Chains A and B, each alone.
Chain A
Amino acid sequence: MIDVSDPRQATATAPTPTVRPRRYLPQQRHLPVLATLTLLATMYGLGALNYTGFAQPQILLNVFVDNAFLLVVAVGMTFVILTGGIDLSVGAVVALTTVCAAVLLREGWPAGVVLPLVLLIGTTLGLLMGLIIHFFDIQPFIVTLAGMFFARGLCHLITSDSIPITDAFWTAAAQHRIRFGDGYFISISVVIALVVVLIAAFVLAYTPFGRNVYAIGGNPQSALLMGLPAGRTRIAVYTISGFCAALGGVLLSFYMLSGYSLHAQGMELDAIAAVVIGGTLLTGGSGYLLGTVLGVGVLGLIQTIIAFQADLSSWWTKIVIGVLLFAFIILQRLVTRRRG
């Protein structure tokens, strides 16, 4: 089926013959990210005005210290959503990673073996889901739902207890602080998360694989007809998401220093929310990793503001995230409609 009713591509590339007066107009595709940036700046400004101590740079750094694992998971989710898919299994894979790492370390396995092993487990799960989605033509939603059940069930089968991690490498990674300036610091997790973001942004923007991801999300059939390796790309994004979830799990185990099958409950929703608030279109094909970073920042800043505002309870976080999701989805509709 070829959708002939969509003149978007034709008009978007047509050169405009008239010379308009020079005025800064942001590109349509940058609008959602700019909106997120404005929101982030407004929230930070309001926080700094209303609460003493909020304006300190360390508060902003702490947002990333506390959400480094979410950032890594959201990067993987961005790849998947860009192809028009969804990955519901990430929260469960994060939990599985923390449980596996904690149990293996308790058994006395060296950290140098455990670390690659848990990363491999998550990546393999992602690969398997990608293979099923591609080869058997089943909706990503239901396959990753099964993956979520599978990983959570596996956690509980291994152990339902919370296991502390006492391994020297893990505690060192958890407690090490990278200090700079006037006593500001970030954790190793933030550095890892930023490296992941940079690599992922490079891959998306400058490699053939990244362009394939956008192409498949924009129009799967056109991508296929153009001869792009749709299947390979689709399998790869779920593998990447699995890897990112496992890495996020490692970072969470640094943060919590424990493995627990109930860790990261509902994290898939946070990751999806971060990606959407970051301006990535849920239908796929449009969005930037920078947006995802900003989206995670928005989620973190909401938690910080609610922590500062003593009379607001934690459930307001969920309500505010819901309202923001709504606002950004409406914005996405407006942007895509105006383009059409």
Chain B
Amino acid sequence: MSDTHRRLTGLVRQRLFWPVLILVVLLVSNLFFTPSFFSITVRDGHLYGSLIDILRASTPLVLVAVGMTVVIATGGIDLSVGSVMAISGALACLHISGLADQNSVTGVLFAVVLALGLSVLLGLWNGALVAAIGIQPIIATLILMVAGRGLAQLITDGQIINVNSAPYKVIGAGYALTLPVSVLIVVAVVTAAALLIRRSALGMLVESVGGNPTASRLAGIRARQLVILAYVFAGLCAGIAGLIFSSNVSSADGNNAGNLIELDAILAVVIGGTALTGGRFSLAGSVLGAVIIKALDITIYTIGIPSQANLLFKAVVVIVLCLAQSSAFRARLAGITRRGGPARPPATPPGKRPDGTGGGLPQQAGPAAPAEAEVRA
């Protein structure tokens, strides 16, 4: 193997190589439809341009995806994020609409604290169901997903609450330092989370709990608190996302806010290279994944394909990514490509039956882990 070849394979094996490549291809392909796609202009002291639009549109999804990443890393999943978004926005708007002066900064701040406090409580509820009572994460969070939608509609009384509050509007639609405030909020939250998780032992502990719960218990890790903390973080992220979403349109819609965002968030996490089985995770990958999804939405919109058809693209992306992550698929592919070449023993990863039987067992995800560790090293 030559040196350049080795360096090239090293690059391809980088965890973020594929997401970055997808994003670049997506953005460049936009150039064919809108030549001015990459131009960023300064207007009224703000930056304007399609790239900024994509960033701004992806802020709620990025937040939700980052929260989801930590939950998925513990081996769980949080389906309730969309409902939490709706509840958070609804509660903030309800409080602001009841203020005598909707432009009072303290009133808006109190509404924000109220909404985020409730989001944390909802996250705590999810975490308690999963970690303390021991319900499967999909089902535990399904409860809040269904009931939360009803709660959000209960808060808004089935109506759309419109608010007319300048300070509240700043969160989702304001600008500071020439950049959208929502983008700055997301950068701050993600940076803080990344520092907290990667500069302390927290991230390693989370990965250990998600990778092998039994081994981590034997190693003396208190999984329960960690898992609850992960769901609280996801709830908080969803709450902030809900505020950004509702502030951007200055209204709260209990029915549609954050609808199906949990699926997009899971997709973003998978695109970012975090396996749904838990363990190793990448916050940067999830952020990239979320931006890719929004870039895809906007690209499809500018090309002129009916916007709902992007669901088809997403389906294809999910399947391709999952196949790429599936060790069974890779073994098959390797078998096919080697059959034509010089005779070699059939490539079968250790512990994996060549015919791929016994699929879907969590235990069999084991053999994939060492390979992944090599990639990271």
Which of A's residues lie within 8 Å of B, judged by CB? 1, 85-86, 132-143, 145-150, 152-154, 156-157, 160, 220-221, 224, 230-231, 234, 261, 269, 272-273, 276, 282-283, 313-319, 321-323, 325-326, 329-330, 333
Give CA–CA (A160, B306) in the complex, Å: 9
Would you give the shortest CB distance from A206 to chain B, in whole angstroms?
26
Partner of B357, one of A231, A316, A330: A231
Give CA–CA (A140, B144) in the complex, Å: 22
Q: Indicate if the CB atoms of B360 and A137 lie closer than 8 Å.
A: yes
Partner of B263, one of A134, A139, A145: A145
Q: Indicate if the CB atoms of A136 and B356 lie closer than 8 Å.
A: yes
Q: Indicate if the CB atoms of A138 and B315 lie closer than 8 Å.
A: no
Give CA–CA (A135, B326) in the complex, Å: 10
| A137-B363 contact given A142-B318, A142-B322, A146-B318, CB 8 Å threshold | no
Partner of A282, one of B136, B145, B153, B154: B136
**In the complex, what residue of chain A is closest to B312 when comparing beta carbons?**
A153
- Complex contacts, B323 vs chain A, CB 8 Å: 132, 136, 138
**In the complex, what residue of chain A is closest to B154 when comparing beta carbons?**
A315
Q: Considering the complex, which residues of chain B in the window 300-335 have a beta carbon less than 8 Å from any beta carbon of chain A?
A: 306, 308-316, 318-319, 322-323, 325-329, 332
Would you give the shortest CB distance from B224 to chain A, in whole angstroms?
16
- Complex contacts, B149 vs chain A, CB 8 Å: 315, 318
| A1-B360 contact given A146-B315, A261-B308, CB 8 Å threshold | no
- Complex contacts, A220 vs chain B, CB 8 Å: 358, 360-361
Give CA–CA (A179, B270) in the complex, Å: 53
Could you write out 23 A-B pairs with CB less than 8 Å apart? A132-B319, A133-B360, A135-B332, A136-B332, A137-B360, A138-B322, A143-B319, A146-B322, A148-B263, A150-B315, A153-B313, A224-B357, A231-B357, A273-B142, A313-B154, A315-B158, A318-B149, A321-B150, A322-B148, A325-B142, A329-B140, A330-B133, A333-B134
Partner of A153, one of B254, B310, B319, B332: B310
Q: Indicate if the CB atoms of B312 and A149 lie closer than 8 Å.
A: yes
> Does B135 interact with chain A (Cβ within 8 Å)?
yes
Partner of B138, one of A141, A147, A148, A230: A141
Q: At the interface, is chain B mostly helix, strand, loop or mixed? A: helix
Q: Indicate if the CB atoms of A272 and B142 lie closer than 8 Å.
A: yes
| A153-B148 contact given A133-B360, A137-B327, A230-B357, CB 8 Å threshold | no
Partner of A221, one of B133, B135, B312, B358: B358
Q: Considering the complex, which residues of chain B in the window 149-191 have a beta carbon less than 8 Å from any beta carbon of chain A?
A: 149-151, 153-154, 157-158
Give CA–CA (A160, B311) in the complex, Å: 13
**In the complex, what residue of chain A is closest to B313 when comparing beta carbons?**
A153
- Complex contacts, A317 vs chain B, CB 8 Å: 150
Q: Indicate if the CB atoms of A221 and B322 lie closer than 8 Å.
A: no
- Complex contacts, A313 vs chain B, CB 8 Å: 153-154, 157-158
Give CA–CA (A323, B142) in the complex, Å: 11
> Does B147 interact with chain A (Cβ within 8 Å)?
yes
- Complex contacts, B329 vs chain A, CB 8 Å: 136-137
9 A-B pairs with the lowest CB-CB distances in the bound complex, closest first: A322-B147, A318-B150, A153-B311, A153-B312, A156-B308, A150-B315, A315-B153, A149-B315, A319-B150
Question: Interface residues of B, CB < 8 Å — how many?
Answer: 57
- Complex contacts, B140 vs chain A, CB 8 Å: 329
> Does B36 interact with chain A (Cβ within 8 Å)?
no
Give CA–CA (A85, B144) in the complex, Å: 21
Would you give the shortest CB distance from B98 to chain A, in whole angstroms?
20
Q: Indicate if the CB atoms of A325 and B143 lie closer than 8 Å.
A: yes
Give CA–CA (A333, B139) in the complex, Å: 12
Give CA–CA (A63, B134) in the complex, Å: 34
Give CA–CA (A160, B77) in the complex, Å: 31
- Complex contacts, B327 vs chain A, CB 8 Å: 137
> Does B216 interact with chain A (Cβ within 8 Å)?
no
Give CA–CA (A330, B150) in the complex, Å: 21
Q: Indicate if the CB atoms of B315 and A329 lie closer than 8 Å.
A: no
Q: Indicate if the CB atoms of A137 and B143 lie closer than 8 Å.
A: no
A-B CB pair tally, cutoff 8 Å = 169
Would you give the shortest CB distance from A331 to chain B, in whole angstroms?
11
Q: Indicate if the CB atoms of A156 and B311 lie closer than 8 Å.
A: yes
Most buried by B among A154, A269, A326: A326
Most buried by B among A135, A261, A269: A135
**In the complex, what residue of chain B is closest to A330 when comparing beta carbons?**
B133
Q: Indicate if the CB atoms of B139 and A135 lie closer than 8 Å.
A: no
Give CA–CA (A282, B141) in the complex, Å: 13
| A230-B263 contact given A141-B276, A318-B149, A330-B133, CB 8 Å threshold | no
Give CA–CA (A136, B331) in the complex, Å: 10
Would you give the shortest CB distance from B34 to chain A, in whole angstroms?
23
- Complex contacts, B314 vs chain A, CB 8 Å: 146, 149, 153
Q: Considering the complex, which residues of chain B in the window 73-98 have a beta carbon less than 8 Å from any beta carbon of chain A?
A: 77
**In the complex, what residue of chain A is closest to B149 when comparing beta carbons?**
A318
- Complex contacts, A230 vs chain B, CB 8 Å: 357-358
Would you give the shortest CB distance from B176 to chain A, in whole angstroms?
36
Q: Considering the complex, which residues of chain B in the window 357-377 have a beta carbon less than 8 Å from any beta carbon of chain A?
A: 357-361, 363-364
Q: Indicate if the CB atoms of B312 and A157 lie closer than 8 Å.
A: yes
Q: Indicate if the CB atoms of B277 and A136 lie closer than 8 Å.
A: no
| A137-B364 contact given A153-B315, A322-B143, CB 8 Å threshold | yes
Give CA–CA (A274, B285) in the complex, Å: 36
**In the complex, what residue of chain B is closest to A232 when comparing beta carbons?**
B357
- Complex contacts, B328 vs chain A, CB 8 Å: 135-137
Give CA–CA (A176, B308) in the complex, Å: 36
- Complex contacts, A149 vs chain B, CB 8 Å: 263, 311-312, 314-315, 318
Give CA–CA (A282, B319) in the complex, Å: 25
Give CA–CA (A220, B358) in the complex, Å: 8
> Does B12 interact with chain A (Cβ within 8 Å)?
no
Q: Indicate if the CB atoms of A333 and B133 lie closer than 8 Å.
A: yes
Give CA–CA (A276, B135) in the complex, Å: 13
- Complex contacts, B133 vs chain A, CB 8 Å: 330, 333
Partner of B144, one of A145, A160, A322: A322
Would you give the shortest CB distance from A265 to chain B, in whole angstroms?
9
Most buried by B among A149, A230, A283: A149
